[in-house]
Amino acid sequence: MKAAIQKSRIPPNRVFIIKDLRDKHFDPIWHFHSEYQLFWVSTGSGTRFVGDNVKPFNKGELVFTGPGLPHLWRSDDIYFDKHTTDHSKGIVLYLQEDFLGTDIMQKNELTDIKKLLQRSTRGLEFYGATRAKAVAIINEIKNATGIYSVIRLLEMLDVLAHSKEFNYISNERNTRPYKEAEANNMNKVYAYVMDQFKQEIKLEALASIMCMTPTSFSRYFTSKTNKSFSQFVIELRIQHACKLLLQEEQSIASVAYDCGFKTLSNFNKQFRKFILQTPSIYRKQFLEM
């Protein structure tokens, strides 16, 4: 298994790094690193894990994460099929907090950008006109060189810093830095659950993989994610159900069973608890849009 912590991607002679991501699927390893990361998904879909938050992702989303905040964009199963022609694409930008030098980041002119960096420790998802404007600048940065690329970077950060079109992603209580061993352990958990969540998951089997007793594993998982393991699995199943409900081919009962629920009544109950409406109303509202 790949290590969860990755070394700095930014050479000492560079202010920042920006990369085109073009592959069948995004990196399936839950990890964190010391850089700030701005990630725009131009093509692809799947499930996003940022800190203690789980949510589906689709093309177009723009997320800014701070140092030490664990994250994973896990592409849908179709992207792992060796016969598929589908691909995942995006642009990722990395920078250090002192990308302009320690002293200048303390100046009044950069106060708003500094506050933006502080907010990113919980992860920020941008939307609306802010996202559109930032993505346009990102594409310009990708093709820029020299001082012009740095100027455009500052302009983009300024757009994000002054925007109110964003949502926090991770819980405020879950912003402490992870250790490498913790990240590797949680990567094992996420990899196992993503492979098995459509079936019955035996806590004993996962605890055995982690070399823990079921009770110890339950405590450990809750301490790292601020939620019980059973709640996490249900949340993942519901998020997957939301994606399936947007397709007219499957009945609601079929969606429930495909997501790992044993009964339709329990699926309806859990769906209302997490989404605050019934599966049928959720589907109807989407189709009406």
In this prediction, residue 173 carries a pLDDT of 55
Q: What is the pLDDT of residues 223-262, one digit of tens each?
A: 888 889 999 999 999 989 988 888 767 899 999 999 999 9
Q: For residues 121 and 113, is the Cβ–Cβ distance under 8 A? A: no
Domain boundaries, the chain: 16-173, 197-288
Which residue has 């009945």 as its token pair? 251
Q: What are phi and psi of 178, to 5 degrees?
A: -85, 155
Question: 34-81 pLDDT, tens per residue?
Answer: 899 999 999 999 999 998 888 889 999 999 999 888 899 989 888 888
Q: How many CB atoms lie within 10 A of CB 3?
A: 12
Express each pLDDT in 104-141 by its tens digit.
777 788 889 989 999 999 999 999 999 999 999 999 99
The CATH architecture that domain 16-173 belongs to is Sandwich (2.60)
| CATH fold label, 197-288 | Arc Repressor Mutant, subunit A (1.10.10)
User: What angle is formed at CA 146 by the lines to CA 140 and CA 152, rounded to 5 degrees?
Assistant: 35
Q: Give me 144's structure tokens.
A: 């820029």
Residues across the chain? 289
Residue of 175 and 32 predicted with greater confidence: 32
Is the four-CA dihedral 166, 282, 254, 83 of positive or negative sign?
negative
Max CA distance (Å), the chain: 60
Confidence of residue 174 (pLDDT cuts 50, 70, 90): low
Asked whether the beta carbons of 48 and 73 are under 8 A apart, the reply is yes
The pLDDT of residue 164: 96
Give the integer Cα–Cα distance in Å for 73 and 85: 19
- Between the alpha carbon of residue 39 and those of residues 65, 68, 149, the distances in Å are 8, 15, 17
> Does 183 or 221 have the greater pLDDT score?
221
Number of C-alpha atoms within 13 angstroms, CB side, residue 53? 22
Q: pTM of the full predicted structure?
A: 0.81
Provide the Cα torsion 256, 257, 263, 264; round to 10°. 30
